[in-house]
């Protein structure tokens, strides 16, 4: 079985928000992230990812509850480690949550979670999620100290931040791939499931598939962009085919 694909549908909501505000009272609010999620499932996605940001810039609370009811695979809730969002996650009860760093100034997540500095706060959240039956993934840079911290927290899954790899070229990209390969090896040795994502697309995905014991990739912007031409189901199917 090849590497599995989770599809992030945040930017379907971004397009919606360009025209409509949430709860605007319109019966014609489009596009609908839930419809996009169902199309991605038909295209072979093993899960749907959505990031509920504190500023609600795209995905809103109602979207998350609707996605939880609608998706047939699994819902992976990306979230910052804030009390408000943690409380919502414990009400929604997604299959997975992926804890990420979050800044209101960033366009998209710009780096991995610092599990060393934030160890105590993360420990509390991991326990709360685990007690509720929610599996936790930590979105981290491919740095040995972060892998060690994730292991000490008892995180069952990490998602390696592939942004530096995706934004580089030539020998710099090669060096970033080596960092990712080593991080995946360390995580596997620690008994942690390895996922990856950020900045991946149809042309740069190949080398990432060489990461040892890679289970799942979470990809959003590239698939949503491709869907403008071919539709979400086909765009997802094309990416699934590349993952083998």
Catalytic residue among 41, 58, 78, 233: 78
Query: 183: exposed, middle or buried (C-beta count within 10 Å: 0-12, 13-18, 19+)?
Result: buried
Catalytic residue among 41, 198, 216, 233: 198
Known catalytic residue at 198:
yes
pLDDT on residue 28 = 67
Q: How many CA atoms lie within 13 A of 79 on its CB side?
A: 27
pLDDT on residue 24 = 47
Known catalytic residue at 51:
yes
pLDDT on residue 105 = 54
Catalytic residue among 11, 51, 58, 161: 51
- Average pLDDT for consecutive 10-residue bins of the chain (244 residues)? 93 91 62 97 98 93 96 98 97 98 62 94 97 98 97 98 97 98 98 98 98 97 98 98 95
Place domain 4-242 in its CATH homologous superfamily.
Aldolase class I (3.20.20.70)
Known catalytic residue at 78:
yes
Taking only the tens place, the pLDDT of each residue in 15-24 is 999 888 655 4
Neighbours of 150 (CB within 10 A): 27
Collapse the DSSP code of 131 into the 3-class scheme (helix H, G, I; strand E, B; otherwise coil) and give the result: helix
pLDDT on residue 14 = 94
Tokens representing residue 111 in the block: 């780096």
pLDDT on residue 128 = 98
CA 211/CA 217 separation, integer angstroms: 11
Determine if the peptide bond prior to 31 is cis (ω within 30°).
yes
Distance separating the N- and C-terminal Cα atoms of the chain:
7
pLDDT on residue 20 = 82
Taking only the tens place, the pLDDT of each residue in 101-140 is 986 555 555 689 999 999 999 999 999 999 999 999 999 9
* Residue ranges of domains in the chain: 4-242
pLDDT on residue 84 = 96
């Amino acid at each position: 079985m090849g590497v599995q694909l989770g599809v992030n549908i945040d930017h379907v909501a971004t397009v919606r928000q360009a025209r409509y505000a949430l709860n605007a009272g319109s019966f014609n609010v489009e596009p609908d992230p839930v419809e996009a999620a169902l199309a991605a499932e038909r295209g072979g996605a093993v899960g749907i990812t959505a990031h509920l940001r504190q500023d609600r810039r795209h995905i809103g609370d109602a979207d998350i509850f609707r996605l939880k009811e609608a998706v047939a695979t699994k819902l992976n809730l990306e979230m910052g480690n804030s009390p408000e969002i943690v409380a919502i996650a414990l009400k929604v009860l997604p299959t997975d949550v992926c804890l990420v760093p979050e800044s209101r100034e960033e366009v998209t997540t710009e780096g991995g979670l610092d599990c060393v500095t934030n160890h105590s706060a993360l420990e509390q959240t991991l326990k709360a999620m685990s007690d509720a039956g929610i599996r936790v993934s930590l979105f981290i840079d491919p740095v040995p100290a972060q892998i060690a911290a994730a292991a000490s927290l008892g995180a069952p899954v990490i998602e390696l931040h592939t942004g530096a790899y995706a934004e580089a070229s030539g020998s710099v990209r090669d060096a970033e791939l080596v960092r990712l390969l080593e991080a995946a090896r360390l995580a596997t040795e620690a008994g942690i499931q390895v996922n990856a994502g950020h900045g991946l697309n149809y042309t740069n995905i190949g080398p990432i598939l060489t990461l040892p014991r890679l289970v799942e990739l979470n990809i959003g912007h590239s698939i949503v962009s491709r869907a403008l031409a071919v539709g979400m189901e086909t765009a997802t199917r094309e990416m699934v085919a590349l993952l083998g």
